[in-house]
A and B are shown apart, each in its own frame.
Chain A
């Protein structure tokens, strides 16, 4: 079946550095990628939606200059947390509609998530 490979699974970085998270669709083309974030004891919340070849759409309250999203190809979307701070520590997960399924049939494939810890 459709797979979204997300890397890294976990990362620890120093405050002020940048971290890049990659999501690759392995056997289908992901024209759209959804990026979610989950803080401890809170729900997964949509951060942004990226579309191949165009600018990402950010949800209210998400800083686009801090969370840079690039969707340069049909199989790769990246999220870069720039100048990370401890409050950015969270679980980040991506999701893509499965090719041929479309939104209506709710065929979504999720990555395995990235646990980011900023110290």
Chain B
């Protein structure tokens, strides 16, 4: 069945460091891929998405490219800020309306 495997955390970085959070997926066909972010005390918010192979989703300095050949959707940001501290979830949606989420990666950025 469909599934998402996400890099385990927690991740701690200094401000302005480069961020990569790995995400790979298993699905037949062509799922849509997402990164959601959850800030403390808030609901999951859509960060970015990509709906077909080679698409690049981007938002707030974060990027992720849909790689069909490696079944990956790694999240990257060139220079993280303290305000980026949150839990990040990789997810896919395929047939129907059910999301499949990764386990979430907690990111803490220290000044």
A-side interface residues toward B, CB under 8 Å?
4, 6, 9, 34, 36, 38, 41-46, 49, 93, 95, 97, 103, 106, 108-113
Roughly how many angstroms separate A64 CA and B104 CA in the complex, as a whole number? 27
Q: Give the chain B neighbours of A110 by CB distance below 8 A.
A: 36, 38, 43-45
- List 18 additional A-B contacts (Cβ < 8 Å) besides A44-B101, A106-B32: A4-B43, A6-B43, A34-B99, A36-B99, A38-B103, A38-B104, A41-B8, A41-B103, A43-B3, A43-B102, A43-B103, A45-B101, A106-B46, A106-B93, A108-B46, A109-B43, A110-B43, A112-B43
Q: Give the chain A neighbours of B4 by CB distance below 8 A.
A: 43
Q: Give the chain A neighbours of B8 by CB distance below 8 A.
A: 41
Q: Give the chain B neighbours of A36 by CB distance below 8 A.
A: 99, 101
Q: Report yes or no: B43 in contact with A113, Cβ–Cβ below 8 A.
A: yes
Roughly how many angstroms separate A111 CA and B36 CA in the complex, as a whole number? 13
Q: Does B28 contact A (CB under 8 A)?
A: no
Q: Does B35 contact A (CB under 8 A)?
A: no
**SS class of chain A's interface: helix, strand, loop or mixed?**
strand
User: Residues of B within 8 Å of A, CB-based: how many?
Assistant: 24
Roughly how many angstroms separate A112 CA and B87 CA in the complex, as a whole number? 12
Q: List 21 interface pairs A-B (beta carbons < 8 Å), by A numbering.
A: A4-B43, A9-B41, A36-B99, A36-B101, A38-B101, A43-B4, A43-B104, A45-B101, A46-B98, A46-B99, A93-B43, A93-B44, A106-B46, A106-B49, A106-B93, A108-B46, A109-B43, A110-B36, A110-B44, A113-B38, A113-B43
Q: Report yes or no: A106 in contact with B43, Cβ–Cβ below 8 A.
A: no
Q: Give the chain A neighbours of B104 by CB distance below 8 A.
A: 38, 43-44
Q: Does B97 contact A (CB under 8 A)?
A: yes
Q: Give the chain A neighbours of B36 by CB distance below 8 A.
A: 110
Closest to A46 in B: B98
Q: Report yes or no: B43 in contact with A111, Cβ–Cβ below 8 A.
A: yes
